[in-house]
Amino acid sequence: MSDAIHPGNSSAPLVSVVVIGRNEGERLVRCLESVRQANWDGRPYEVVYVDSRSTDASVGRAESLGARAFVLSDASPCAAKARNLGWTRARGEFILFLDGDTQLDPDFVARALQTLEDPVLCAAWGHRRESDPGQSIYTRVLDLDWVYPVGRTQYFGGDVLVRRTALASVDGFDPTLKAGEEPEMCARLRAAGWQIEHIDAPMTRHDLAVNTLRAYWLRAYRSGIAYAEVADRMKRRNDPMWQREARRDFVHGILLIALPFVFLLTLFCSLWLTALLCAAVGAVLYRTVLRCRWKAPEDPVLCWEYAVHAYLQKVPALFGQLEWRRANRASDEIALVDYKSDAAVSTGASPDAPADASFSPDAQTGRLKPALVRLLVPFAGVWRRVVIDRWLRVWSLARLQEAIGGEVHASNVILGPVSVHGTGNIHFGRNAMFYPGVYLETQGEGRIEIGDDVVFSSGVHIVAFDRVTIGRGVMIGEYTSLRDANHNPDPVSVRRSGHTCAPIEVGDNAWIGRGACVLKGVRLGANCIVAANAVVTRDVGAGTLVAGIPARPLPQRNA
């Protein structure tokens, strides 16, 4: 035998361990060490490592640990291509597939080989669990995704012991699949008469490394692509596998996106409808808790968390299905979605190393964002009409009325929150329009009087220690300031020096431009115009145009 094969001391069949990975760093080292430390009980084995163009030292590390290493030189790498390269270069009668972020249980191989003594079985797999489920809420719930019932199953995952003859009979994995390659190949194996056994034994410990919402989203998004593509292939083969699951996830994803809008709609129509909707959502979640309780019977909190995860993951999965449908119609190839795309940083790869465009988060976002926008456009319309145009305006008007302790006529249009400070001694006319970010403050005996048909743009700032009067039809531009008081100069403390104040009066139909500042004691005559960014320190006559710092009259020109 070759030096790369650990010969053992028995005549048992050779087992080839095929490990695939990309930028796994120390995770790969732990994986290969676990293979070396497994209980081989004299059985001969070899280790084959297939690298998907890592930018770290994965290949060198694998070779130093006794593995035969191969690099998948492919412009669009994926797990299916890597596994095919591995098992075709391997020499064993049995192929043990492992991902580079797993650690092999010492006794799994012996248990699996014993199971495969049944000639109808082509594969045996055991329990995969997370090595550190407590590292984040995401890995805590995703750990339960690995829990499956034991016995005969329709498919296996990425870690499995398979007969080489079975792999050869179906030409291995489909290299055109970016995800879901294991279930798709299992369907072909079952069609060829083979069966698959899930044994009640630990198999691997896995390091999912999902610690951010982005990674969680991308992983579920990738599963949506896999569900859509594999379900489509199974449908063409009249195989029921994943048909129901793909349809269910698609419908559930749409319902979950619509749920917040439905909630707001019921809140607008009737509190009883809102309560009924909340009760229905709670009942659905509780039913899911009961169904998954067998996965974590001693941890009810985890069961509730898992139930929420079971539904929330359907939203990114929906976008994955939509992306596959778009690509299928356009005959485009979907780039590999790598939720561990920043693994190179965490494993010591050079930040200047070249990256494969198919692994780029920007490439994934570039495809996801347009699909997300298309789906959300109708909901955005509902949000604008129901929430912004109705609820937010009504709520802002209610807040304003509560803040001043008096009535604000319903004819006023309050487009966003108005900040009221001080005594709230403010009088509002009718048919006014207030944009978001208006600031109104009254102190002591100060009062603000606002006439009918005025327009206050975003950021208008009015402070009254005496009185500020705004006439009918006045328009005030963004970030304009009207303040009827100044601090007294004091060499010790300006803050505590007190104020001098004098009323400001703005005549009917005046127009104050953006960023203007009107100081205490100024009277603006009717129909006057204050240019943008002007500082007004003295009275302005009716019909006069002023500009500058300090503001001075300018000749008006007809448009």
Pairing of strands 160-163, 121-130: antiparallel
Q: Give the Å distances, CA to CA, from 12 to 7, 15, 93, 94, 359.
A: 10, 9, 10, 11, 41
**CA triple 367-358-157, angle to 5 deg:** 95
Calculate the CA 376 to chain-centre distance: 14
Cβ(97)–Cβ(85) below 8 Å? no
Beta-bridge mates of residue 15: 45, 94
Backbone angles phi, psi at 133, to 5 degrees: -65, -20
The radius of gyration of the chain's CA atoms, rounded to the nearest angstrom, is: 35
**Who's near 39: CB < 8 A, 6+ residues apart?**
106, 107, 109, 110
- DSSP, residue by residue, 319-379: HHHHHHHHHHHHTPPPPP--TTTTHHHHTT--TTS---GGG-HHHHHHHHHHHHHHHHHHH
Name the phi and psi angles at 494, rounded to 5: -65, -35
Distance CA 504, CA 382 (A): 43
CA–CA distance, 271 with 65 (Å, rounded to integer)? 65
Active site residue 427: no
**Cis ω on the peptide bond leading into residue 300 (within 30° of 0)?**
no
Q: Would you state the structure tokens that stand for residue 394, as one six-digit string?
A: 């009504």
Tokens at residue 101, please? 């972020």
CA–CA dist 220, 321 (Å, integer): 10
Q: How many residues does the chain have?
A: 559
- Cα–Cα distance measured from residue 267 to residue 260, given in angstroms and rounded to the nearest whole number: 10
Catalytic residue among 309, 427, 487, 499: 487
Phi, psi dihedral angles at 536 (to 5 degrees): -95, 115
Element (H, E) at 35: helix 26-36
Question: Which residues sit opposite 517 in a β-bridge?
Answer: 481, 535
Cβ atoms of 2 and 71 within 8 Å: the answer is: no
Residues 6+ apart with CB under 8 A from 398: none
Nearest to 48 by CA among 71, 24, 67: 67
209: left (phi over 0), alpha (psi -120 to 50) or beta: left
Per the rule left: phi > 0, alpha: psi between -120 and 50, beta: everything else, 42 is left
Q: Which residues are catalytic?
A: 487
